[in-house]
Amino acid sequence: MIHPTAIVDSKAEIDTNVDIGPYSIIEADVAIGSGTVIGAHVVVQSYVTIGPECQIFQYASIGAPPQALAYKGEKTHVSIGRGTIVREFVTINRGTEFGGGITEVGEDNLLMAYAHIAHDCITGREVIFANNATLAGHIIVGDFVTVGGLVAVHQFVRIGDYAYIGGKAAVVKDIPPYVIASGDRAKLHGLNNVGLKRQGFSKETLTVLKKAYRIIFRIGLTLNEAIERVKAEVEQIPEVIDLIDFIQSSQRGITR
């Protein structure tokens, strides 16, 4: 059902099973999937795709042009995956041509009130952004990540799968997978044991990851020395391989 006060452009592709609340604005070249609910006073600008079964709460702004001085009006996009919840006053900006052209929010994300997803960011599955969490441009967030309230993440940072970032952190370097980070500037505080257990990681896997974490981050070796030692002394389970690959592919440097 589309409320009579909503303004929906005739060039928008709206599934028949979509609710749009009072005074919301849906511009041309928007696609919204079945079962999605758009609240009151929401603005969805052009070149946005919203998947099925999403919930967009009041006063959210999706698809505004990127806040980048180099942007000159190019046709760029936002994509929001199935089942994602976007709470009040969240802002999600379109991508830039020089940054890939699209901002992607993955499936089953929860974006709490006032969160901001800037241009060219990509998030994985089941990511949680608490209130006022903010991503600058060109950030990649893995699957099952939690970003605490008032966290600020610097542009071009990567955040690995299953990482947890505590509230009010300032993140200026990559956050490896499976860890907890917090503080200004963010530092590592061990494995995300509670989160990993909730996601079904076995005791044996956690024991191996703990050994790898200690070698890499706690005994004073350089990263190269630590990685060679992990390869020699730690069982090469998939999670350890992922951790090593993430570190070796870092461009900004690793939070330690």
**Checking DSSP bridges between strand 179-182 and strand 187-191, what pairing results, if any?**
antiparallel
Task: State the catalytic residue, choosing from 63, 83, 99, 119.
Answer: 119
Question: Is the domain of 24 the same as that of 116?
Answer: yes
Residues 117 and 201 in one domain: no
The answer for 215, left when phi > 0, alpha when psi is -120 to 50, beta otherwise, is alpha
Given 51, 99, 120, 242, which residue is catalytic? 120
| Angstrom distance (rounded) from CA 95 to CA 120 | 4
Is 3 considered catalytic here?
Answer: no
Mean pLDDT of 112-118: 98
Domain endpoint, select from 103, 138, 173: 138
Q: Which domain holds residue 236?
A: 197-248
How many residues are present in the chain? 256
Q: 138, 157, 186: which is the final residue of a domain? A: 138
* Count of the separate structural domains present in the chain: 2
- Give the CATH number for residue 105: 2.160.10.10
What letters, b where the CB count within 10 A reaches 16 and e where it falls short, cover 170-188? ebbbbbbbbbbbbeeebeb
At 67-111, the pLDDT tens digits run: 999 999 999 999 999 999 999 999 999 999 999 999 999 999 999
Amino acid at 224: N
Task: Quote the pTM value.
Answer: 0.96
Question: Has 184 been annotated as catalytic?
Answer: no
Q: What's the rounded mean pLDDT across residues 211-219?
A: 98
Out of 137, 148, 160, 166, which one is annotated catalytic?
137
**What is the dihedral sign for C-alpha 156, 150, 111, 128?**
positive
Does the active-site annotation cover 143? no
Distant-in-sequence, close-in-space partners of 82: CB < 8 Å, separation ≥ 6 = 33, 51, 52, 53, 54, 107, 108
Pair (114, 217) in one structural domain: no
134, 11: one domain: yes
What integer pLDDT is reported at residue 12 of this predicted model? 98
